[in-house]
Amino acid sequence: MPARYDLAVGVPEELEPEPGGEVAAARQGIQSVELAMLVLQALEEGLGPLSLTQVAAAAGMTPSKAHRYLVSLGRVGLVAQSHRSGLYDLGPAMRRLGIESLRRMDEVGLASEHTPGLRDRTTHAVNLAVWGDHGPVLVRWDYGAHPLPITVRLGATMPLLSSSVGRVYLAHLPDTVTGPALEAQLAPEPVTGRIREEIARVRAEVRDRGVALTSGGLIPGLASIAAPVFGADDSLPLVVAIALPARLADPAVLERLQDELLRTTADMAVDLGAADRPGKARTAARGR
């Protein structure tokens, strides 16, 4: 039996199996569920307890309509109301859902959904790195259309100062994390004042621009541009980089690649649970 739609309430009736066939596919959604999500998003974006009036305004509803959704969401624990102040906030069931979602999250897997598209849009190689015991570790490489003067080995540890990926981690991770790895990579030479000045310069440059750029520093003839992917708690689980022949890395090309890279890392961050709010910086230059 084809799906029926109740125009009076705007909600599709439950599908029934067709005789001898499968359940009919339906593209209609449940409008009330989508409206309830507007209420939950209002509470999320409020960054704290809200009054009924504030929830209604943020969700684009009348107070009476918002109140009905708050009551229903409260009954299943997704919303809680303070007995003292009367303000509304996310409830215990929402916290449990969030914790379980984080437990199940495969950060590399989620980000990897975006790398082939970035490769196709730019035609250049794209790689993912995570922080390991001794520095950034390559965990994915998507080959581009242009031959590169490099042999790729997944699991390789990247240098902090001479690679774009390393510079992003150097700019955004604390010294207590990067310091031991940097000292081990520079051994037997000590971390001198000159090197510390270089680190300070790199950090300022990467934070200001939002990306790290290198050309020929790691491999002659290879240029790379890298950007961070921030998680829900502003952690830095991943760095994404585009690698290209240095001869192609003119300013116009680099500007285009930077725009594509930052758009992609912003999408990755949303998939990892980072808030997607207008006006919130989702690049490296977020004032960390």
Q: How confident is the model at residue 276 (pLDDT cuts 50, 70, 90)?
A: low
Write out the two tokens for 222.
């290879």
Query: Which has more confidence, 20 or 193?
Result: 193
Find all residues with CB under 8 Å of 279, minimum gap 6, and list them. none
Indicate the average pLDDT of the chain. Answer: 83
For residue range 152-190, what is the model confidence (pLDDT) as tens digits? 888 889 999 999 999 999 999 998 999 889 888 888 777
For residue range 72-81, what is the model confidence (pLDDT) as tens digits? 999 999 999 9
Percent of the chain with pLDDT over 70: 83
Domains, the chain: 31-104 (1.10.10.10), 107-271 (3.30.450.40)
CA-to-CA distance for 190 and 184, rounded, in angstroms?
9
Output the pLDDT for position 216. 85
Output the pLDDT for position 118. 97
Q: Is the pLDDT of residue 12 over 80?
A: no
Q: 270: how many CB neighbours lie within 10 A of its CB?
A: 14
Q: How confident is the model at residue 99 (pLDDT cuts 50, 70, 90)?
A: low
Q: 284: how many CB neighbours lie within 10 A of its CB?
A: 25
For residue range 101-159, what is the model confidence (pLDDT) as tens digits? 656 657 888 899 999 999 999 999 999 999 988 899 998 999 999 999 888 888 889 99
Q: Is the pLDDT of residue 18 over 50?
A: no
> How far is the CA of 27 from the CAs of 1, 12, 19, 91, in angstroms?
15, 10, 21, 30
Percent of the chain with pLDDT over 90: 57
Q: Are 172 and 236 in contact (CB under 8 A)?
A: yes
Task: List, edge to edge, every strand of the sheet that includes 238-245.
Answer: 135-142, 125-132, 238-245, 222-229, 212-215
CA-to-CA distance for 170 and 166, rounded, in angstroms?
6
CA dihedral 239, 240, 244, 247 (to 10 degrees): -60
CA-to-CA distance for 127 and 89, rounded, in angstroms?
40
CA-to-CA distance for 71 and 144, rounded, in angstroms?
53
Q: Is the pLDDT of residue 283 over 60?
A: no
Output the pLDDT for position 121. 97
Output the pLDDT for position 74. 93
Task: Give the global pTM.
Answer: 0.63
Q: Are 203 and 284 in contact (CB under 8 A)?
A: no
CA atoms within 13 A on the CB side of 229: 28
